Amino acid sequence: MGIFRLLSHLLLTVFVLYPGLVQAQVDDSEAQQLLTSLAESSFAEKKEVVNQIAGSGDERARGWLESFASNKLGRIESSGQFIIVLENRGRDWTVESALTGENLGEISRRDIDTVRVNNALRNELESILSVLDLKSPEEHNRLTAARALKGSVDGVLAERLPELMSDEKSDSVRAALTEALAIYQVEEQGDVAAVATLSGSLNSQARAALQQAMRSDDAALVAAATKAMASIEQKLKLNRAAETLYFGLSLGSVLMLAAIGLAITFGVMGVINMAHGELIMLGAYTTWGMQQLLPGQPGLALILSIPAGFLVAALAGIAIERTVIQHLKGRPLETLLATFGVSLILQQLVRTVISPLNRTVITPDWMSGSVMINEALSLTLNRLYVIGFALVVFAGLMLIMRKTRLGLEVRAVTQNRAMARSMGIKATKVDILTFALGSGVAGLAGVALSQITNVGPNLGQAYIIDSFMVVVFGGVGNLWGTLLAGMTLGTINQLLEPWAGAVLAKIMVLVFIILFIQKRPRGLFPQKGRAAEG
Amino acid sequence: MSISKHVKLSLSALALSISFNSVAAEDPIKVGILHSLSGTMAISESTLKDTMLMLIEKQNEAGGVLGRQLEPVVVDPASNWPLFAEKARELLAKEKVDVIFGNWTSVSRKSVLPVIEELNGLLFYPVQYEGEESSENVFYTGAAPNQQAIPAVDYLMNDIGVERWVLAGTDYVYPRTTNKILETYLKDKGVAAADIMINYTPFGHSNWQAIVSDIKAFGSAGKKTAVVSTINGDANVPFYRELGNQGIEAADIPVVAFSVGEQELSGIDTGPLVGHLAAWNYFMSVESDANYDFIDAWAAYSDNEDAVTNDPMEAHYIGFNMYIEAVKKAGTADVDAVKDAIIGVSVPNLTGGYATMMPNHHITKPVLIGEIQDNGQFSVVWETPSTVAGDAWSDFLPGSKDLISDWRKPLFCGNFNVVSGTCGGQAKVAAE
């Protein structure tokens, strides 16, 4: 098999590098035969067939291999005709002929036998396809291909790589190819000179190669590899620290977003709203609903959900305020129980009306994946957006509280209700608007959370305790306190988590807050003045 | 005279329907369904309730069993473990059901166990679990660890060449016991303690950044690494999403899951997850006619073209058919008679084979390993050559390896110690 693989790789490389020389083309019966042996052999044997197909030089080969890799190559049970599955959801699949490319329409899944693929084969296919991609006119494709080659270069390819590199115009592709070659040289040939190339590389394959070199008998090689490793370790440590900080900030912004609506209703109005979590849930469900209304445009739906989520939650908030909370003014225990009841009602309402099952909220393409800073540090995009969104919401709230008439009135009512009323402020109206604002912000939090957690009836429950924790820790009624508390608790949690485990980390954070509250009962930023004492 | 003829006809029709009803209503077999329809577990369990209702409806259309109709009695234990016991008591004492199908989490099963035994009921439990239990009154139609976890680890070790292991799970009895079994098993196979990383997270955990990044670091030590996941419930969705976002591909660090099925995957875009693994005894993608028929029936019943099926549904399908066969064999729905009759009963499963009830109240199952596809389905990459019988007491836990269970007379014992030769050699339950 080794010889086989070498041979086919040779063929392939020749084909890739001198396309003009090879005009191989298989006729349909040969193709049918190749695909049949692919379908009928065991996983171990399939490897050979894959190389045969790749080496055949047929222009359809790439399509076959790609669809095979994604489990979309199949055979119609009755006729033995090979097909490529275009759409494989549901019970009828849309297919086209693998040999002619003719669209065959929808065929029941019962009649299709898929040609099975597994991870090992997919890996093999990927390296074969990336060799093909090295000649792609798109720089992006070449770069991806060159990166994929790290750790999978073999002897034949290694001989050809220098030539490819000299033809390469893009620096980054050339650098990736150089590294791929160096990994091969260190791993297979114990090349001391190549070790220097790997020094400072953050690629995990490069690290594996160096670790292997450190175990070799050649003293010079060991010394060079150890030195290169030390510089890598140093860099890795820095990257790990940066990553932990990012994780902390991202969890912190989620906590802050979930809590800031509560900071307004609980902090400013003094209402303990146990249904706050369910208002978050409503925001998340609004996102789902929007995506149902605008199928195929998850990004647009998500953006429209921002105002819609705010509105839905704010209206629900007003309803709760009017029907329950206003009748229980000044009776915190009863308010707590009543709003807890409201939260249960809302949860069960969602279960009965929509479904007890979680709903799928699609993440738009521009929010999936991550930005690669370097090969050891990449920032996940959805979290990055949530951090940005949280900061925008915070800034917006600060503006409302500081610069608008509503903000002024809210602050006045908070500080001294009786005095504010005697100055002509309608306290009832302020109450409604404040509660609507706090609820609306909870809805915004729900829109953001729909991108990072499950949208289901239990969504709110998961965040209510955390929200109270952040508000109490930050100092009741202080928005800056909420921001700082969210970020602090998030970072502490993420620092502890790898070391203590998720369960223990959470317990430790709670213990920390209990101790902190003992020392400073009013949180990080206590409210000053006589009103705060009452 | 056409009017009087009409009256006569309708009268006789009425009489017929009354007499028919009275025969049917005289003595239906009552089937209790004990699955949470609200609370955390509703996501998984409400589907099983519907599955049972569908199976009962189909059976009734086919004339019931022994000429008697089946009558479902649905209760909602609301994901509240003590309430499971109360509802089980209500089903057995008040509703006088002949059999119960229910439960999902192990803790809820442990909660109803004393009630079922006290009132001599029958319970069919459809979910994979940690083993270390065998009750006279319970039939375990889900997988025991030797029908899921051990074969999956063997596959990773022998076929993929994994040398470094992450055991990640939700913090409760099933993952803890399973991981204890797996840890012992791996160490027996010569895996060093430094090559095993164990991590537990709470139910519904959603912030996976640090843990996933930790797994990535653990896996970049130059040895082939795999994650064995007993993460349960909807915490899986953000876990897999984070794996995808942090670019952990199945080719580098495969994740094999024991609690992730088609239903859990229906909540995420599986594009970045292609190639990650799951071990089950059934996959919706299995190419067998019995399975296609079941899927068609389920889609029609739930009135949803894209409705998915999963492993616990198949377990209920098998358990229900076994019960029907046992009732037929015993000629009565009497609990003790059915209990004796069901041992040895074989019914078709959905993967093209047969499942047999063993004397230890566990069933035989094939073990399948599937890789996640981009359409949210699994593609089977490996399966055991024949079915595997469930083992109630694990061979890899001290105190449990000497125990066997056999509910046939004369042994009639759930925890017989083959060393001391006594019944009731109570094993220390590993997870405490």
Give the global pTM: 0.81
Mean predicted lDDT score pLDDT of chain A: 85
Q: How far is A358 from chain B (nearest CA, A)?
A: 7
Of B210, B220, B371, the CB nearest to A498: B210
pLDDT at res. B255: 94
Single-letter residue type at B339: K
User: How many structural domains does chain A have?
Assistant: 3
Indicate if A179 and A254 belong to the same structural domain: no
Whether A361 and A451 have beta carbons less than 8 Å apart is answered as yes
Confidence of residue A7 (pLDDT cuts 50, 70, 90): very low
Q: What are residue B164's phi and psi, to 5 degrees?
A: -125, 135
Measure in Å the smallest separation between the Cα of A501 and chain B Cα atoms.
6
- Mean pLDDT over B54-59 rounds to 96
- Give residue A14's domain range: 2-121
Concatenated DSSP letters for A15-83? HHH-TTT------HHHHHHHHHHHHHS-HHHHHHHHHHHHHT--TTHHHHHHHHHTT-EEEETTT--EE
- A459-474 and A276-293 helices cross at what angle (nearest 10)? 130
Closest residue of B to A114, CA-based?
Answer: B379
Residues sharing a CB contact under 8 Å with residue A209, sequence separation 6 or more, in sequence order:
A151, A183, A186, A187, A198
Average of per-residue pLDDT across A272-289: 94
pLDDT the model gives residue B8: 53
Last residue of a domain, one of A61, A90, A121: A121
Q: What's the average model confidence in pLDDT over B107-132?
A: 94
Please tell me which of the candidates B43, B251, B274 has its beta carbon nearest to residue A356: B43
Structure tokens that stand for A495 in this block: 């620092």
Same domain (yes/no): A404, A266: yes
Q: What is the pLDDT of residues A64-114, one digit of tens each?
A: 888 898 888 999 988 888 999 988 877 888 899 888 888 888 888 888 888
CA of A499, closest CA in chain B: separation in Å? 10
Q: Which residues in chain B touch residue A242, judged by CB atoms under 8 angstroms apart?
A: none
- Inform me whether the pLDDT recorded for B2 exceeds 60: no
Which residue, chain included where needed, has tokens 């970072």? Answer: A491
Examine the domain organization and report whether A218 and A283 are in the same domain.
no
pLDDT digits 0-9 by tens, A471-520: 989 887 788 999 999 999 999 999 998 888 888 888 999 999 999 989 98
Q: Which pLDDT value is given to residue B246?
A: 85
pLDDT (0 to 100) of residue A3: 45
Q: Same domain, yes or no, for A290 and A434? A: yes
Residue A133: is its pLDDT beyond 50? yes
Least confident of B144-153, B164-173, B421-430: B421-430
Question: What is the nearest CA distance from A278 to chain B, expressed in angstroms?
Answer: 14
Q: Give the tens place of pLDDT for each residue, B382-394.
A: 999 899 999 999 9
What pLDDT is stored for residue B409 in this prediction? 84
Which of B140, B138, B117, B115 has its CA nearest to residue B130?
A: B140
For residue A25, what pLDDT is reported? Answer: 67
* Of A465 and B424, the one with more pLDDT: A465
Residue A215 sits at φ, ψ, to 5 deg, of -90, 0
Domain boundary among A430, A447, A477: A477
Model confidence at B273: pLDDT above 90: no
Q: Do A501 and B379 touch (CB under 8 A)?
A: no
Which of A343, A347, A358 should be substituted to probe chain B, the one whose Cβ sees the most B Cβ atoms within 10 Å?
Answer: A358
> Taking CA atoms, what residue in A is nearest to B380?
A116
- Domains, chain B, ranges and CATH? 24-144+289-363 (3.40.50.2300), 146-288+369-389 (3.40.50.2300)
Q: What residue type is B129 in one-letter code?
A: Y
pLDDT at site B381: 92
Contact status, residue B338 vs residue B327, Cβ threshold 8 Å: yes
Which residues of chain A neighbour B247 with C-beta distances below 8 Å? 369-370, 378
In a domain, A396, yes or no: yes
Closest partner residue to B238 (CB to CB) among A126, A204, A454 is: A454
pLDDT of residue A533: 44
Say if residue B432's pLDDT is above 90: no
pLDDT for A219 equals 84
In a domain, A525, yes or no: no
Is residue A311 domain-shared with residue A210, that is, in the same domain? no
Confidence (pLDDT) at B6: 56
Same domain? For A445 and A312 the reply is yes
Residues A347 and A464: beta-carbon distance below 8 Å: no
Residue type, A517: I
Report ipTM (2 d.p.).
0.79
Min Cα distance A77 → chain B (Å) is 11
What's the confidence (pLDDT) of residue B425? 54
Contact (CB<8Å) B38/A348: yes
DSSP secondary structure letter of residue B294: H
Distance from the Cα of B165 to chain A's closest Cα (Å) equals 16
Judge contact between A316 and A439, C-beta under 8 A: yes
Is A498 inside any structural domain? Answer: no
In order, the DSSP letters of B65-112 are BTTB-EEEEEE--TT-HHHHHHHHHIIIIIS--SEEEE--SHHHHHHH
Q: Which residue in chain B has the smallest CA separation from A68?
A: B373
Task: Report the residue from B238, B295, B299 with minimal CB separation from A452.
Answer: B238
Same domain, A179 and A268: no
- Phi, psi dihedrals of residue A350, rounded to the nearest 5°: -60, -40
Q: Which residue of B has its CA nearest to A351?
A: B38
Q: Based on the fold, state whether residues A108 and A199 are members of the same structural domain.
A: no
A83 within a domain of the structure (yes/no): yes
Do A218 and A252 belong to one domain? no
Candidates A251, A381, A456; nearest CB to B234: A456
Q: Which secondary-structure segment (H or E) carries B257?
A: strand B255-257
In terms of Cβ atoms closer than 10 Å to its own Cβ (0-12, 13-18, 19+), residue B50 is middle
Q: What is the C-alpha end-to-end distance of chain A, expressed in Å?
A: 83
Nearest CA-CA distance, residue B217 and chain A, Å: 9
Share of chain B above pLDDT 90, in %: 63
CB pairs under 8 A between A and B: 154
What 3-state DSSP class applies to A475? Answer: coil
Residue A531 pLDDT greater than 90, yes or no:
no
Identify the closest residue of chain A to B376 by CA–CA distance.
Answer: A89
With CB atoms and an 8 Å threshold, state whether A71 touches B201. Answer: no
Report the residue from A71, A89, A110 with minimal CB separation from B292: A110
* Smallest Cα distance from A117 to chain B, Å: 7
Of B204, B299, B375, the CB nearest to A89: B375
Res B10: pLDDT = 52
Q: What is the pLDDT of residue A303?
A: 95
- Contact assignment for B305 to A91 by CB distance below 8 Å: yes
**Among candidate residues A517, A513, A496, the one with its CA nearest the CA of residue A244:** A496
In chain A, whose CA is at the least distance from the CA of B375?
A: A89
Domain contains A116: yes
Q: Is the pLDDT of residue B21 over 50?
A: no
**A499 lies in some domain:** no
Is there a contact between B199 and A88 if contact means CB atoms under 8 Å apart?
no
Higher pLDDT, A56 or B145: B145
Q: Which residues of A touch B237 (CB under 8 A)?
A: 358, 453-454
Instruction: Report yes or no on A203 lying in a domain.
Output: yes
A465 in a structural domain: yes
Q: Are residues A219 and A263 in the same domain?
A: no
Closest C-alpha to A254, from A434, A351, A380:
A380
Task: Report the distance separating Cα A487 and Cα A503, nearest Å.
Answer: 19
Q: Are residues A378 and A335 in the same domain?
A: yes
- pLDDT of B173 higher than 50: yes
The answer to whether the Cβ–Cβ distance between B200 and A380 falls below 8 Å is no
Determine what percent of chain A is predicted with pLDDT higher than 90. Answer: 30
Q: Which residues of B touch A122 (CB under 8 A)?
A: 250-251, 274-275
Residue B320's closest CA among B43, B46, B70, B44?
B70
| Rounded Cα gap, residues B205 and B183, in angstroms | 23
Q: What's the pLDDT band for A415 if we cut at 50, 70, 90? A: confident
Query: Of A121, A156, A176, which residue constitutes the final position of a domain?
Result: A121
Cβ contact (<8 Å) for B42 and A243?
no
Q: Give the pLDDT confidence of B66-100 residue by residue, as tens digits.
A: 999 999 999 999 889 999 999 999 999 999 999 99
Based on the domain organization, do A428 and A331 belong to the same domain?
A: yes
